[in-house]
Chain A
Amino acid sequence: MINSHDILETINMIENENLDVRTITMGISLLDCIDEDIDKACNKVYDKICRYAKDLVKTGEDISKDYGIPIIHKRIAVTPVAMLAAACPTKNPVKFAQTLDRAAKTVGVNFVGGYSALVHKGFSQGDYALIESIPEALNVTERVCSSVNIGSTKAGINMDAVGKMGYVIRKTAELTADRDCIGAAKLVVFCNAPEDNPFMAGAFHGPGEADCVINVGVSGPGVVRAALAKAGDCNITEVADIVKKTAFKITRAGMLVAKEASKRLSVPFGIVDLSLAPTPAIGDSVAYILEEMGLEQCGAHGTTACLALLNDAVKKGGVMASSHVGGLSGAFIPVTEDAGMIEAARSKALSIVKLEAMTAVCSVGLDMIAIPGDTPADVISGIIADEAAIGMVNSKTTAVRLIPAIGKQAGEELNFGGLLGSGPIMDVNMKSPSRFIARGGRIPAPMQSLKN
C-alpha cells in the first residue's frame, strides 16, 4: 500500500515544485515521403504527419488529466528534411518547412523539429540546399525548428559547415529582427547530435529510428532544488544521493507517461530523456539547484564542479527508473529559459566563458544565449567550433543556440515570451578568428585512447 507521506510528497512536487513531464515527442520517419516532385513529397509529408499525430495532443491531455501530472508539450520530430530535399535539390526546400508548419498547426503541436541536416563529414546537395534555406524557413514559419550536426567524435568537425552556420545564424536573426530575432532561437548547431532527442529546438527523428516512436522528456529542477533545501547542510555525498533519488522519482513519472502514451497511441516507446529542463518560472531553475548546493550565485568558481555532480547524479538516478534512456539526458543550462541563469547573466556573475566550461560537463551546450547584434559571423563560427571541439573530444553532445540581437548591444535585453524566456545580451570576445574559419576543411577525428 502506498503511504500517506509518499502521496503528499508527490502532490507537493506537482503543486509547489513544478514537477511536470516536459514533452511527449512523436518521432515520425519521412523516408517514405521522398519524391523528386517536391509538391508530391510535401503532400505525402503533410498526410503522414496528420495521420500519425492526429490524436497526439488529445492523448497527452487525457494522460495528464488521468494521472494528475502536467504534460507541458506535445511535439513532433521528423526525419532530417535534408534527406527529402536531396531528391529535389534544385527546388527551394522552404516548401517543406511550410508543410511542416501547416501540419503542426493542423494537429495542434507547438513545435515540429527536423528541418535539419547531418553534415558532420560533408555536404550532399540536399544538405546544402537546406542549410542555405534555413533563415528563410525560420522566418516564414512559426512552429518549425531547425538543427544542423556539424561534427562528431567519429568524423571530426566539418569546418566548412561551421563557417557556413555562423552566417546562417546571423542571417536568421536579421530576418526575424522585428520579432526579437526569434528565428535564431529555433536553430541549433550540434556536435554528436542524438537521433532520439525529444527536446526542441534540436529534436529530429534519426535515420536509424523506427517508422514512428514516442519519446518522452522529463523535467523537474524545482523538485531537486526543494529536496536539497530540505536536507540542509549535509555533505556533498549526501547531496549526490538526494539528487539521484529525486531523479529516480521524476523519471518514473516520465516512464509511466511514456508507457501510457505508447499504449494509447499504439506507437512503440522509444526512450525517456532524463533531463532537468528549466523554465523561466521562478523555482524551476537549474541555476537555483547549483546555488542550493552552496554557491553564492551560478557562475561563481565551483559552478562547473556542482554541475558535473548534478548531471551525473541525474543520470544515475534516472537510468534505473527507465527501461530505455536516450536523447540528451542531463542538465540543461539555457540562459534565457532559466530564472537563475538570467539573474546571474544580468549581474555578470555568469559569462559565456564560464558557460563554455560548464558545457563540458552537462548535457547540452551554449544554449539560448543572446549576443550583441554586431557580432560578426566568423566570431559566431568560432564559438561553434570551440563548442563542437568540447563535444568531439569528450564523446558527448554539445550544441550552440545563439541569438544575435540585431540592433542591440551587450547589457540590453531580448524578450521572446513564453518558455523561450528573456534575458540580457552577453558580452562576446570580438577578437577575430576569421583566418582560422576561412581555412575550411575538416578537423580530424580525435584519438579515442591515450586519454589525458
Chain B
Amino acid sequence: MNAVITVLGKDNVGILAKVSNECAAVSANILEVTQSVLQGMFAMIMFVDITNITVPFAQLADQLAEKGEEMGVKVIVMHEDLFNAMHTI
C-alpha cells in the first residue's frame, strides 16, 4: 500500500530531511522522491510504502501536516488509490 506525500511552499533548508525523518520514525519506507524548486517555490512529491507503518494512516497525515506548518510549507498526505482512480482507466 503506497501513499503520496506532497510538499508545496517556499523553499527552506531541511524540508526533505524533516519529512524523511518523520517517515522513518513510523516505518514508512520511501520509494521515490521527485523534487523541484521553481522561482523559490518548493515542490516535492514522495512515494512511500505504508504497509508496515506503526501509527494509523490518518495520524501520519496529521503529524506531517503539523510538521509542514512548522516549516511554513503545506504537506499533504494521500492514499495513492485516489490518484490511480482519477487518472487511469
Binding site for B on A (CB under 8 A): 1-4, 6-11, 15, 62, 65-69, 249, 252-253, 255-256, 320
Contacts and interface: CB of A to CB of B under 8 A. Distances in A.
Contacts of A252: 85-86
B34 interface: yes
Contacts of A69: 78, 82
Given A2-B4, A7-B45, A8-B43, A68 B79 contact: yes
B77 interface: yes
Contacts of B61: 65, 68
Nearest to B2: A2
Given A68-B77, A68-B78, A320-B89, 13 more contacts: A2-B83, A2-B84, A2-B88, A6-B86, A6-B87, A7-B45, A10-B82, A11-B8, A62-B58, A66-B58, A68-B79, A249-B87, A256-B81
A67 B6 contact: no
B86 A249 contact: yes
Nearest to B83: A2
A67 B82 contact: yes
A66 B89 CA distance: 22
Contacts of B84: 2
Interface string B46-85: 0100000000011001000000000000001111111111
B45 A4 contact: yes
The 9 closest A-B pairs by CB, nearest first: A68-B78, A6-B87, A65-B58, A256-B85, A252-B85, A249-B86, A2-B83, A67-B82, A252-B86
Contacts of A65: 57-58, 61
Contacts of B47: 1
A93 B88 CA distance: 49
Nearest to B36: A4
Contacts of B78: 10-11, 67-69
Contacts of B43: 4, 8
Given A62-B58, A65-B58, A4 B34 contact: yes
Contacts of A8: 6, 43, 45
Interface of B: 4, 6, 8, 32, 34, 43, 45, 47, 57-58, 61, 76-89
Nearest to B59: A65
If over half of A's interface residues share one DSSP class (helix, strand or loop), that class is named, otherwise mixed; here it is helix
A68 B82 contact: yes
A7 B4 contact: yes
A10 B45 contact: no
A374 to B, nearest CB: 49
A66 B82 CA distance: 10
Contacts of A6: 83, 86-87
Contacts of B4: 2, 7
15 contacts: A1-B32, A2-B4, A2-B83, A7-B6, A8-B43, A8-B45, A10-B78, A10-B87, A67-B78, A68-B82, A69-B82, A253-B82, A253-B85, A253-B86, A320-B89
Contacts of B86: 6, 10, 249, 252-253
Contacts of B83: 2, 6-7, 10
Nearest to A253: B86
A4 B89 CA distance: 17
Contacts of A256: 81-82, 85
A323 B51 CA distance: 28
A11 B87 contact: no
A252 B86 CA distance: 5
Contact of B81 (A3, A9, A67): A67
Contacts of B45: 4, 7-8
